[in-house]
Structure 1
């Protein structure tokens, strides 16, 4: 009895010294992940401790100075090593967390410190991790797919350690998608945000009642005076249409520093499709032209035609950028092997492996005979499964490209706030190094994609049932450029002003509407404050709203359906309607903001080439310049992004949360950016 009382006293004493660090938001996960078995006490779990990063506020200030044309520091980007040194936690932080681990019996040989100094890692038994964090670790099963992750409902840290730690995984932020050894291996669904009617952000138009791409469309009267290649841009958008709409030059430069990069995960382009597209729509480009594939942890080379892993996203991205920037080389960051890549598209660590390869900050380290995750669970490399990548996890192996286009994303609330903030800060670091990161904003109006968090993709809270607007991630991050979609209508030509992207699919039963809105995690960034204030002063849509402290726990307060105080998106737009594209040899018309992000990547690449010729550096983080010089964009004033049982927002003069500031006007942008240092 004495021994029992002594142990109980020790536990209570330890508990008294601990404070709650993170707790799960029930409305986010209840419909997604079902709590299943308790993790076996002896299972080895990959404990990853994100140390509190320092100088983040200074880093934001530094990036804004680098990106502000009025600053003496404009364009003075940092090197990779300078960025690491800027944010590295002090020795006191590292020593305090390490001492805590040692105090709890973690073998010093098992504690690894990441190269960028932001992480401590240790692979330890689940029972030790639970004792360390005063929590219970469970398996969580995806209610639809059966995929497994591990995590907890809440965890605690000693008060003297808590100030040094950002977040810990597995915890409220669950582990990557895992598989038990005895689980049947299934090929997951392909594409981003897929449901039966969509492939990612693209729509196979002629599979849902729309005429095929080569249907004989009547020409609008104004089209008869236009060159033949741009007469039908309202029904078939092509590279020639892009050039005419945005007055883009024909590419003629291939330098060593301005190759744009495309992020691809779970989808693989087919060179045969790219060649077919170039023959059809880019007569100035040799059909054999191919991108350079930078495989990340088993990312594969181009796939042959008719391969099930060719879902269309990669084909489209490659088609657009090569056709517009040739002869400039194009890079593809092909992320993860087939076993993991597709599974990670669904609310897992969508960008983690990618960020690993650029700066090593999200790597699962191998230390003293324990490799990454538990042998019982396997999001680890080498991947022992058939076809799995057998090499080591790739960390910090690629220098970031000057322009990166990403047409993948999730809902903001799919991730805990700490995790979102930390990952967003990684994109801030890319901006400090001179990289422009372009994110497709999505295609479901003010909702998330159907099935994300709720069946409708809209949020519930405070008595409201699926009527609250659902913010897109990564578009919510203040350090990226969110790109929405625009369109021409069938009776319009390149001489007409574009509208917000709204497409009726499948005889009115479904719609694509350009995504836009306001973050629940991030307040208005400084570069957007005056523009957003003007929008609300002149065009307040009259919806109920709440003024929150950028905290998702306040969703729906006082009947609110969006956070007026949040970071607004998209920032810009470009045409995303009806691109005729071969997929596995068959031509479909695709639509979505996924077309707009690579188009903007092409525009920034052409501008960077001209700055390089002039002896100047890359544009880098572009938002502050665009918001202070909106005249270099074509404003869009027609269209809405309805959803969640409401009319959403309207496109109006100036910035709006439907089309942002507008579409590119290349001659004006070139004039501006060549005038800057």
Structure 2
């Protein structure tokens, strides 16, 4: 029997004790290798301001996790009994001793209480300090780093420490070791008469794998009507007043344009014309309505999620904090992944939307493991409160996010450049629902859909049987050492992800990517929540325990499609859950591996509604 030991490929803790320049004893908290693609340019300017976030330990998180699984398991007595904001905060709050120790440490550095801000549960402390003070606090040296491909510059360090008496009370401090390059999951196509990608053979309609009748035009252009026909929701009308709401997150200066939405509604959802959504600006976020500033990602998300669910009240969260596109040495950014800023806000809201979609992410390995674990724990808080969170699984298979299998890479980011599957985050978090992509009718896996197995997160019990069944079909030793068979597997589900007809900057265009499948699946989850709330029942909340048990009967298994690249067709999809088609080929002495994914399958709203209401 072989025993596999999986180590973090990015982050490792070091317990070495060193003497800090200020005369106190520090222990190194985190240390990483310089990540691939980043080069050190120069020491950071001493007066450059860093917005530090200090995460205090959450000693009762295991109790929160237990509650999350109990209220999310349809076979548990507590199913649907979601926690309140106050109950969740009580379970994640740090000990008062931790708060006092950290406050005393900061005060010893001349940082007063009035200069601090705290999260609602007091588990995060935020403070603005110059680089010179941050270096003293953390016994480190910050540098300006540049990403060679994009030219982006940031202020970071590859290690930091904490005083010994503080060490055990703090989980992490950022920005320090985080080098992720946050991005959206979309691909854009121009609208042309030659964009018909599939022949309908002259037929007026076609039949989906679930048996629904779909207009043949849906094989080349996806509309609201196509999705409702395909996923068996034609004729269902949601409520505007029962308390159900839906949310879309926006990052990277992606602005959802009101004029584009009206053009979209006029074309695809005429009864929604003159309706709109509410915008919440977070951490300096904006929503520039200049037509030229309209974001393709944002327009895609709001048009389809809100078009599917009208007249359900809808919210768009525009979160600032993206790195500059054309930075220079005088203005490098120190911004964290903006998830933390959005989470600070949404966790403080007493009644957030019951269903929320996010179409952004990054390679898991570019996010320090401690930070990924902490952000994931915050998603668990929302799930325990009855919020369903969907995330795009990514558009690069298991490569580096490049949707072209011929050019993507599968190297570790720890300086060793070892070939390894590279999953995406936050989709790899076990407390969210990862959405992959399909195309055509009947559906097949789309070539760019992302997936794989996490290095950071253990495989949750709700999916062990499904994943074991898939892995048993692989020949012994297949891809050994290239992925973690004991890790959280993604995606969980899929939906259409190609040829979406979107209005952007005043014109119709085609858009594809798991940026399309995530808001689509989210729209149907919101309709399920609408049916539940109208029946006096609680919303679904964290979906995965339901999906992998009772819910699978309401999903259509996708068993066709491949992931071509490197001169091969890859493997076919299989019956049941699958991370799709693993592709293995040699190119110029290195190995490229990609995955196209469908998970448990695509939604059948009619069947799912009957299941959740039964």
TM-score over 0.5 for the pair: yes
Change (3 A) 1:205 1:160: same
Shift of 1:466: 7.2
Change (3 A) 1:576 1:465: same
Aligned mate of 2:70, from 27, 44, 65: 65
Q: How does 1:66-215 map to 2 (within 5 A)?
A: 66-103=71-108, 106-107=111-112, 110-173=115-178, 192-193=183-184, 200-206=185-191, 211-212=194-195
Aligned equivalent of 1:525 = 460
Shift of 1:447: 1.3
CA separation in 1, counterparts of 2:45 and 2:335? 24
Aligned equivalent of 1:636 = 558
Aligned equivalent of 1:515 = 450
Shift of 1:400: 1.9
Contact 1:442 1:593 in 2 (8 A): yes
Aligned equivalent of 2:57 = 52
Aligned equivalent of 2:4 = none
Shift of 1:225: 9.7
Question: Residue deviations 1:382-412, cap 9 Å, x none?
Answer: xxxxxxxxxxxxxx46742110011111111
Q: Tell whether 2:430 aligns with 1:478.
A: yes
Q: Tell whether 2:267 aligns with 1:280.
A: yes
Please state whether the residue corresponding to 1:211 is helix, strand or coil.
Answer: helix
Shift of 1:544: 2.1
Contact 2:257 2:294 in 1 (8 A): yes
TM-score by length of 2: 0.83
Shift of 1:606: 1.1
CA separation in 1, counterparts of 2:295 and 2:114? 44
CA separation in 2, counterparts of 1:580 and 1:466? 40
Aligned mate of 2:307, from 323, 335, 347: 323
Please state whether the residue corresponding to 2:222 is helix, strand or coil.
Answer: coil
Aligned equivalent of 2:520 = 599
Q: How does 1:228-627 map to 2 (within 5 A)?
A: 230-248=215-233, 249-265=235-251, 266-283=253-270, 285-301=271-287, 303-305=289-291, 307=292, 309-336=293-320, 348-359=336-347, 396=348, 399-450=351-402, 456-460=408-412, 467-488=419-440, 493=441, 496=442, 498-502=443-447, 513-539=448-474, 543-545=478-480, 560-627=481-548
Please state whether the residue corresponding to 1:468 is helix, strand or coil.
Answer: coil
Shift of 1:251: 2.3
Question: Residue deviations 1:508-546, cap 9 Å, x none?
Answer: xxxxx211101111110121112211221234585322x
Please state whether the residue corresponding to 2:218 is helix, strand or coil.
Answer: coil
Change (3 A) 1:14 1:55: same
Q: Tell whether 2:578 aligns with 1:653.
A: no
Shift of 1:482: 0.4
Contact 1:467 1:645 in 2 (8 A): no
Runs (5+) with no aligned partner, structure 2: 1-17, 580-596
Shift of 1:131: 3.0
Name whichever structure is richer in strand by fraction: 2
Contact 2:398 2:423 in 1 (8 A): yes
Change (3 A) 1:674 1:130: same
Contact 1:447 1:458 in 2 (8 A): yes
CA separation in 2, counterparts of 1:410 and 1:82? 31
Contact 1:444 1:643 in 2 (8 A): no
Contact 1:458 1:644 in 2 (8 A): no
CA separation in 1, counterparts of 2:68 and 2:414? 38
Change (3 A) 1:234 1:40: closer
Please state whether the residue corresponding to 2:523 is helix, strand or coil.
Answer: helix
CA separation in 1, counterparts of 2:422 and 2:567? 12
CA separation in 2, counterparts of 1:46 and 1:588? 39
CA separation in 2, counterparts of 1:667 and 1:218? 26
Shift of 1:297: 3.8
Shift of 1:645: 9.1
CA separation in 2, counterparts of 1:171 and 1:337? 16
CA separation in 2, counterparts of 1:356 and 1:403? 18
Question: How many residues of Structure 1 are paired with residues of Structure 2 in the alignment?
Answer: 569
Shift of 1:642: 5.6
Change (3 A) 1:647 1:167: farther
CA separation in 1, counterparts of 2:452 and 2:335? 20
Question: Residue deviations 1:301-360, cap 9 Å, x none?
Answer: 46243x1x223222222221233222222221122289969999999513233223213x
Question: Residue deviations 1:603-638, cap 9 Å, x none?
Answer: 111111111121111110010011012221100111
| 574-583 or 14-23, which deviates more | 14-23
Please state whether the residue corresponding to 1:444 is helix, strand or coil.
Answer: coil
Aligned equivalent of 1:4 = none
Shift of 1:256: 4.6
Change (3 A) 1:346 1:111: closer
Runs (5+) with no aligned partner, structure 1: 1-9, 178-190, 194-199, 360-395, 503-512, 546-559
TM-score by length of 1: 0.76
Contact 2:26 2:162 in 1 (8 A): yes
Change (3 A) 1:173 1:659: same
Change (3 A) 1:342 1:405: farther
Shift of 1:445: 1.6
CA separation in 1, counterparts of 2:374 and 2:304? 31
Change (3 A) 1:172 1:288: same
CA RMSD of aligned residues (A): 3.5
Contact 2:272 2:310 in 1 (8 A): no
Contact 2:444 2:561 in 1 (8 A): yes
CA separation in 2, counterparts of 1:143 and 1:569? 30
Contact 2:358 2:518 in 1 (8 A): yes
Which is greater in Rg? 1
Change (3 A) 1:48 1:590: closer
